[in-house]
Amino acid sequence: MRSKDRIAYFYDGDVGSVYFGPNHPMKPHRLCMTHHLVLSYELHKKMEVYRPHKAYPVELAQFHSPDYVEFLHRITPDTQYLYPQELKKYSLGEDCPVFHDLFEFCQIYAGGTIDAARRLNNQLCDIAINWAGGLHHAKKCAASGFCYINDLVLGILELLKYHARVLYIDIDVHHGDGVEEAFYFTDRVMTVSFHKYGDSFFPGTGDVKEIGEREGKFYAINVPLKDGIDDSSFTRLFKTIIAKVVETYQPGAIVLQCGADSLAGDRLGCFNLSIDGHAECVRFVKKLNIPLLVTGGGGYTKENVARCWTVETGVLLDTDLLTKSLKTIISIILPLIIH
Instruction: Give the residue numbers of the binding site for substrate.
Output: 95, 145, 300
Q: How many whole angstroms separate alpha carbon 171 and alpha carbon 194?
A: 5
Give just the sign of the alpha carbon dihedral 96, 16, 32, 168. positive
- Cα–Cα dist 45/31, whole Å: 19
Distance (Å, whole) CA 90 – CA 86: 6
> Which amino acid makes up residue 277?
G
Residues forming the annotated binding site?
Answer: 95, 145, 172, 174, 261, 300
Q: Given strand 48-50, what is the order of strands in its sheet?
A: 48-50, 7-10, 127-130, 292-295, 253-257, 166-170, 189-196, 220-225
Do 131 and 309 form a contact (C-beta atoms < 8 A)?
yes
Binding-site residues from annotation for a divalent metal cation: 172, 174, 261
List the catalytic residue out of 137, 163, 195, 278: 137
DSSP symbols for 6-48: -EEEE--GGGGS----TT-S--THHHHHHHHHHHHTTGGGGSE
Angle (CA) 154-279-25 rounded to 5° is 65
Query: Is 278 noted as a catalytic residue in this protein?
Result: no
Q: What's the farthest any 2 CA atoms get from each other in the chain?
A: 74
Residues annotated as catalytic (active site), given as ranges:
137
